[in-house]
Amino acid sequence: MNLLEVKSLRARHGLLTALHDVSFAMEKGDVLAIVGANGAGKTTLMRCIAGAHRPAAGGIALAGEDVTALPAHKRVRRGIALVPEGRRLFPGMTVKDTLLLAACRKGQWNFDAVLETLPQLRPLLNRKTGHLSGGQQQAVAIGRALMTNPELLLLDELSLGLSPVAVEGVYDAMPKLKAAGTTIILVEQDLRRAMAAATHVMCMLEGRVVLSGGAGELTREAVMDAYFGLNREAA
């Protein structure tokens, strides 16, 4: 059984159709990198899966259960966690309290396990998240999501706005997440990093999936052509 199934998903922002019949499936332990230019529909897709945006049509199933109509907080309890673009932390809350507040499901991820995976958080536990750098905030946002013990972890624009050093620190955790069997959808602008971290790659253009396949099977050139719509006729 697939862990995640997205079937003919369609979403709108007012009169604008942001997703056109998007379909794909993931098995447990897969890491899917979604790439595409700004406005391709990547964030809308992530928000639909997380329950933060209601689709106009189509369905979403987690481990065979239809979650399309569930609100976001109930999807968290079913095992879907989103690290949103911009991180969206409470700036007046300490790192420790941010992590502990998110604990809502039993599983392998607890406070100690999160700190082992994200050791850069240990010296920051008593600091308020609003006083942290962008890279530190991103690590807190990932840790917060892990504390919910997700079946599916959604990472939206993981390295956006971060310095190269901060990006390295965030990506240092990826092998540990994969080794733990965490199923991940990663939206990333850095194609090199996306293809290196993922088992599968999906390229979106104007709300449609225009290319998908195993990360080891797709060439960078093919993905770039799809990214800019150069192989639209072939697709």
Average pLDDT, the chain: 92
How confident is the model at residue 12, as a pLDDT? 96
Q: 134: closest CA among 84, 86, 168, 92?
A: 86
Average pLDDT over residues 19-30: 97
Q: Are 57 and 8 in contact (CB under 8 A)?
A: yes
Domains of the chain with CATH codes: 4-227 (3.40.50.300)
How confident is the model at residue 231, as a pLDDT? 62
β-sheet with 200-205: strand ranges across: 80-83, 152-155, 183-187, 31-35, 200-205, 208-214
pTM of the predicted protein model:
0.91
Burial of 87 (0-12, 13-18, 19+ CB in 10 A): buried
- What is the 3 state secondary structure string of 134-158? HHHHHHHHHHHHHCCCCCEEEECCC
234 band by pLDDT with thresholds 50, 70 and 90: very low
What digits encode the pLDDT tens for the residues 122-162? 999 999 999 999 889 999 999 999 999 999 999 998 887 77
Rounded to whole angstroms, the Cα distance separating 153 from 177 reads 10
Alpha-carbon distance values, 188 to 35, 75, 112, 114, 159 (Å): 6, 23, 28, 22, 7
What digits encode the pLDDT tens for the residues 179-205? 888 899 999 888 888 899 899 999 999
Q: 37: closest CA among 187, 175, 144, 150?
A: 187
The angle formed by the CA atoms of residues 205, 210 and 211, to the nearest 5 degrees, is: 125
Q: What percentage of residues in the chain have a pLDDT greater than 70?
A: 98
Length of the chain: 235
Q: 146: closest CA among 183, 112, 192, 114?
A: 114
CB contact set of 163 (below 8 Å; sequence gap of 6+): 134, 135
β-sheet with 16-26: strand ranges across: 16-26, 4-13, 57-62, 65-66
